[in-house]
Amino acid sequence: MVDDKAVRPKHLGSGKADIPYDEPSIEILDTFPSPFTEGNGVEVEIEAQEFTTLCPITGQPDFAQFFITYTPNKLCVESKSLKLYFGAFRMHKSFHEDCVNRIADDLIKLLDPLKLKVEGRFTPRGGIKIWPIVTYTQK
């Protein structure tokens, strides 16, 4: 039997979201035990369309869609906590590549997935689109 307190997400159903909009932290993210049978090749796909951050040089806002695909090991990421985590980038100053790398690193630390792909599709500025991608496969 699973201990309810051990897997209860701290944000889901709380009715509040006291997350600062300039401090992304792995501590915001919640998990739950993967309901998938180990070794069956399942993938979880997540699309977040409302990501924003600030350019560290100009302070101008950057907008992106994020696409995350992962093969769970023992844990899955809880979606409300992921939304709050993304929201914590709102006033954070960071380059596109750094945002994608940081999100991938945090998800790898949190979930220990078998595979992970994080792609940030940033809205072009000055006619240049930047879409950083991080791929990870557990060794």
The residue ranges of every structural domain in the chain are 21-137
Could you give the residue numbers annotated as active site?
A: 55, 62
Q: How many helices and strands (H and E) does the chain possess?
A: 3, 6
Phi, psi torsion values for 129, nearest 5 degrees: -100, 140
If you average pLDDT over residues 99-125, what whole number do you get? 97
Predicted confidence band of residue 21 (pLDDT cuts 50, 70, 90): confident
What are the pLDDT digits (tens) for 56-108?
Answer: 999 999 999 999 999 999 999 999 999 999 999 999 999 999 999 999 999 99
Q: Report the DSSP beta bridge partners of residue 31.
A: 77
Q: Read off the pTM.
A: 0.86
Rounded Cα–Cα distance for residues 55 and 48 (Å): 20
Q: What is the pLDDT, as a whole number, of residue 5?
A: 46
Residue 28, classed as helix, strand or coil, is: helix
Question: What is the CATH topology of the domain spanning 21-137?
Answer: GTP Cyclohydrolase I, domain 2 (3.30.1130)
- The DSSP code sequence of 51-114 is EEEE-TTT--EEEEEEEEEEE-SSEEE-HHHHHHHHHTTTT-B--HHHHHHHHHHHHHHHH--S
Q: Which residue has the higher pLDDT, 4 or 92?
A: 92
Q: How far is CA 60 from the centre of its chain?
A: 22
Q: CA 29 to CA 85: how far, in whole Å? A: 6
